[in-house]
Amino acid sequence: MKINRDSKVVVLTGAGISAESGIKTFRDADGLWENHAIEEVATPYAWQANPQLVWQFYQARRRQLLEVEPNMAHQALVKLEEFLGDNFLLITQNVDDLHGRAGSKNLIHMHGELRVLRCESCNEVFDYMEPEHLGADYVACENCASERLRPHIVWFHEMPLKMPEIYAAVEDCDIFITIGTSGHVYPAAGLIDIAKQSGALCIGVNLDHPLNLAQHDDFLLGRAGEILPKLVAEMID
């Protein structure tokens, strides 16, 4: 399907787009994420009850970013953005930095970012990826007296970031593409319903059927790294 430069395209990505870069998805291994139940490490209660466990878990995820590279799927989305300019928005549920490193610019991290730490006292955020930020010790806030920054991650029971901006773009788009997301987690999984109600063509790319399969007009089953370069070429070449 060919598009022109006036087409408004919104893309929603999930863990599946980074799988081929070597980052594990959340729900592919019996609901375990790197051997932890998600609730054990990804809730504000876990951070309160067992901050050491949560901190060590996220420090390992943060260090992993130094060992992985963007793949063909991330790169294909950069190509699509180069063609569409401001008519392109990438919304990712991923907390890795692979979209940004590939070169995506118009990018919203709705579930936060591993690179970033946040102060719960003064709310300041810090992009901290130097060796002194990646060890076992907590990292202190430079802005106030707090000794312990937290991961800038949207945990379960917390509000995703930038939702007004996301809803506005999804309501206004012509084409909505979901990539590598299982459709389990709301509000991300429901964005397709808004896109559809607003008349957008909804395309899905995933290795297996997502829960919201039925809402897609067109669904491509397979690996994002193989499908995306072809899909983008069809759209813009």
Binding-site ranges for ligand APR (CB under 6 A): 14-16, 19-20, 25-28, 38, 93, 111, 180-182, 184-185, 206-208, 210, 223-224
Which is closer to Zn ion, CB of 65 or CB of 141?
141
**Positions in 129-168 near Zn ion (CB under 5 A):** 141, 143-144, 146
Residue 119 interface partner, choices ligand APR, Zn ion, none, CB cut-off 5-8 Å depending on type: Zn ion
**Number of other residues whose CB lies within 10 A of the CB of residue 214:** 9
Q: How far apart are CA 9 and CA 189, in angstroms?
A: 17
**Quick check: is 209 catalytic?**
no
List 109, 111, 152, 216, catalytic entry: 111
- Minimum CB separation of residue 185 from ligand APR in Å reads 4
Q: Check if the beta carbon of residue 149 is closer than 8 Å to that of residue 161.
A: no
- Minimum CB separation of residue 118 from Zn ion in Å reads 9
Residue 144 interface partner, choices Zn ion, ligand APR, none, CB cut-off 5-8 Å depending on type: Zn ion
Q: How far apart are CA 137 and CA 140, in angstroms?
A: 9
- Minimum CB separation of residue 107 from Zn ion in Å reads 26
122 binds Zn ion (CB under 5 A): yes
Q: How far apart are CA 214 and CA 208, in angstroms?
A: 13
119 binds Zn ion (CB under 5 A): yes
Q: How far apart are CA 197 and CA 207, in angstroms?
A: 26
For the packed helices 72-84 and 224-236, what is the interaxial angle rounded to 10 degrees? 20
Which is closer to Zn ion, CB of 11 or CB of 149?
149
Q: Which residue is nearest to ligand APR (CB)?
A: 16
Q: Check if the beta carbon of residue 151 is closer than 8 Å to that of residue 112.
A: yes
Could you tell me which of 145, 135, 173, 167 has the C-alpha nearest to residue 58?
A: 135
Instruction: Tell me which residues are annotated as active site.
Output: 111
Residue numbers at the binding site for Zn ion (CB under 5 A):
119, 121-122, 141, 143-144, 146
